[in-house]
Amino acid sequence: MELGLTGKVALITGSSRGIGLETALYLVKEGAEVTICARNEKRLEEAAAYILEQTGREVLIIEADVTKEADCERIVSDTVKKYGRLDILVNNAGTSQAHPFDEVGTELWQQDLDLKLFGAIRCSRNAVPFMRKVGGAQSST
């Protein structure tokens, strides 16, 4: 299926494996330029090699931690620096830690929210100005 993504630029957090990696692979196959980022550089290199093997195309890899504001700024700015634009942001960073509800302390809840919720907010806040420049992320006001 042709989705019209040729020439579009996507940034995917948490994309060294799982859903993020498969999303990156799919977007590359659809013609997008893609940046993958995660906290583990070795896994990112393996993911990039897998995408190259499957598609013949390279992706930009950036080791980053979305719980850090500076890293969120850097992944967006490095993507724009490399490709000249940003059209798509996939906030996929997260972990899966299954614990009974009554065993989860405040610190673990805070870590989870910082990664999954506030990581997405940080990345979106940095990405939206660039996405607006290319006609995306329209303001609702």
The pLDDT tens digits for 48-74 are: 999 999 999 999 999 999 999 999 999
Classify 23 in phi/psi space as left (phi over 0), alpha (psi -120 to 50) or beta. alpha
Tokens of 65: 């931690």
Total-model pTM = 0.89
Strands of 33-38's sheet in order across: 60-63, 33-38, 9-13, 88-90
Q: Tell me how far apart the alpha carbons of residues 88 and 91 are, in angstroms, rounded to a whole number.
A: 10
What mean pLDDT is predicted for residues 108-131? 92
C-alpha to C-alpha distances, 91 to 5, 11, 32, 51, 141, nearest whole angstrom = 18, 8, 17, 19, 23
Position 48 scores a pLDDT of 98
CATH superfamily of domain region 9-133:
NAD(P)-binding Rossmann-like Domain (3.40.50.720)
Q: Tell me how far apart the alpha carbons of residues 13 and 105 are, in angstroms, rounded to a whole number.
A: 26
Range list of β-strands (E), 57-96: 60-63, 88-90
